[in-house]
Amino acid sequence: MKRVDDFRLQLGKHELVPIMIGGMGVDISTADLALEAARLGGIGHISDAMINTVSDRRYETKYVKEKLALYKYNVKNEDKAVVQFDLGTVVEATRLHIDATMARKQGSGLVFINCMEKLTMNAPKETLRVRMRTALDCGIDGITLAAGLHLGSFALIEDHPRFRDAKLGIIVSSVRALALFLKKSSRTNRLPDYIVVEGPLAGGHLGFGMDWAKYDLATIVAEVMAHLKSEHLDIPVIPAGGIFTGSDAAAFLESGAAAVQVATRFTVSEECGLPAEVKQEYFKANEDDIVVNEISPTGYPMRMIRSSPAIGDGIRPNCEAYGYLLDANGKCSYVTAYNREVAAHPGARKVKVMDKTCLCTHMRNFDLWTCGQLTWRLKDTTHRLADGSYQILSAEHIFKDYQFSTDNKVVLP
C-alpha cells in the first residue's frame, strides 16, 4: 500500500508534500505550527480570527484596551451597532502577524492564512476586504476562505496586484456550495487554486446541520471530483475531517485527492497555541465527551469537548472589546440570549446561558475546546507519563507520521 510520501501536490510552480495543516482560529494554529509545516515541505495556516486580540498578545499592541475605552459607554446597551472596528487597526494587526510569520519562513513549503468569513465584525464586507488585501500586501503565500464563504469574496480583491499570483482556496462541505461559489466568482475569471472539502468529522464550525452524522467525507469528495470533471475543471481537491493516520490520508490520495487537510492531531503539538493544561483535556477526552451543539452565535453547529468552560457560561457580552461576531446590523445571538436570561432572572448576580455562548471571549481565553470527532484517539498517539499526564508531541513528529506511516499505524514519539 502506498504512503503519503509517494504523492506530491502541485500548486502552480510549487511541488509540495501533500499535507496541509488546517487553520485553527484564535491562534490555535500559531505561526510556529504553520512554519513547521512549511519547513517540512507542506502547507501550514495561520488564522486571522480576532487578529487585533492576537496582536495584543503577541506583539504588545493595545487594540482591545483602546477599543473598549472608546465604546465603554455602550457596554450596557443591547444595541451594538455603534461598536465598529477601526479598519486601520485591523490592517496594522494583520500586518504585524503576517510580517512576523513570513520573516521566519524556511523550507520549500507554503504559509497560508485562514480567513473565517463568519467573523462579520459589524461590517462584513469592509472588514473582509481589508483582511484579505492586507494579507496579500504582506506577501502571504495563500488565503483559504472558510466558514461563511462569501460568494463575492474574490471580487473584493480582484484589482489587487497579487490576485492572480497568490494561491486562493475555498472550503466547502457540498457540491452545491462549490457550484454556487464557482458560478458567482466566474465573473472574475479566477478559479480557486484548491478546494478543501470538509466533511462532518472536522473540528471548528461544521458546514452541515445537526444531521451531520448522515454525511460522509469520501462520498462528498467523490461528488465534488465528479462535478469538476463534468465541468472540465482541473482544480486540486483536498479532503479534511477525520483523517487521522497516514493510511487514511494515503487512501484519499490514491483515489484522486491532491492533498489532505488535517488539524486535530496537531492540537497536542508543542507548537499549537492551546495552553498546556488544555492539551491534556484533548488527550483525556473519550468518545462520548465529544459533542456537536448549536451554541456558536455564527449559526453553524460546532464540535467541542463537553467539559469546555464556555458551555452554559453566562458572562456579559464583550462586544465593546471584541465584537468579531456582530453582524452587519450590530447583532449577535449571544447578546440576545444573554439579555433574555438577565430579564428572566432580575437581581441575579450571574446568569446561565445554555443555548448560546460568547464565542469571542471564550475562544480568546481558550475556554471553548473545539476539536475534531476523532480527538478521543489522541491518547493513542503518545506515551502516558509517570505523573499520569500525556507526552506532548512535536509538530515535526506528527507531520512525519502522516507522511511516512503505513498500515494504519501511528508511530509513538
Cell numbers of 255, please? 483515489
Give the whole-angstrom CA distance, residue 350 versus residue 356: 15
Tell the smallest beta-carbon distance from residue 189 to ligand FMN (Å): 26
How far is it, in rounded angstroms, from Cα 329 to Cα 122?
A: 7
**Shortest Å, Cβ 184 to ligand FMN:** 19
Alpha helices, H only, 231-315: 246-254, 276-284
Binding site for ligand FMN (CB under 6 A): 22-25, 28, 47, 49, 114, 116, 146-147, 171, 198, 201-204, 240-243, 261-264, 267, 370-372, 374
Q: Rounded to the nearest 5°, which phi and psi values hold at 198?
A: -100, 120
- Complex with ligand FMN: residue 21 or 335, whichever CB lies closer: 21
Distance of closest approach, residue 181 Cβ to ligand FMN, in angstroms: 15
Instruction: Decide whether 192 or 241 has the Cβ nearer to ligand FMN.
Output: 241
Between 338 and 376, whose beta carbon lies closer to ligand FMN? 376
What secondary structure letter does DSSP report for 232? T
* CB-based burial label for 155 (10 Å; 0-12, 13-18, 19+): middle
- CA–CA distance, 401 with 260 (Å, rounded to integer): 14
Compute the distance between CA of residue 60 and CA of residue 73 in angstroms, rounded to an integer.
25
Residue 365: CB partners within 8 Å, gap ≥ 6? none
Nearer to ligand FMN, 146 or 332 (CB): 146
Smaller CB separation from ligand FMN, 22 or 109: 22
Compare residues 296 and 333 and give the one whose CB is closer to ligand FMN.
Answer: 296
Q: How far is the CB of 343 from ligand FMN (least distance, A)?
A: 32
Which element (helix H / strand E) includes 402? helix 395-404
To the nearest whole angstrom, how small is the minimum distance from the Cβ of residue 72 to ligand FMN? Answer: 29
**In the bound complex, what is the minimum distance in angstroms from residue 26's beta carbon to ligand FMN?**
7
The residue among 47 and 314 lying less far from ligand FMN, judged by its C-beta, is 47
H or E element: which one contains 64?
helix 63-71
CB of 82 to ligand FMN, least distance (A): 27
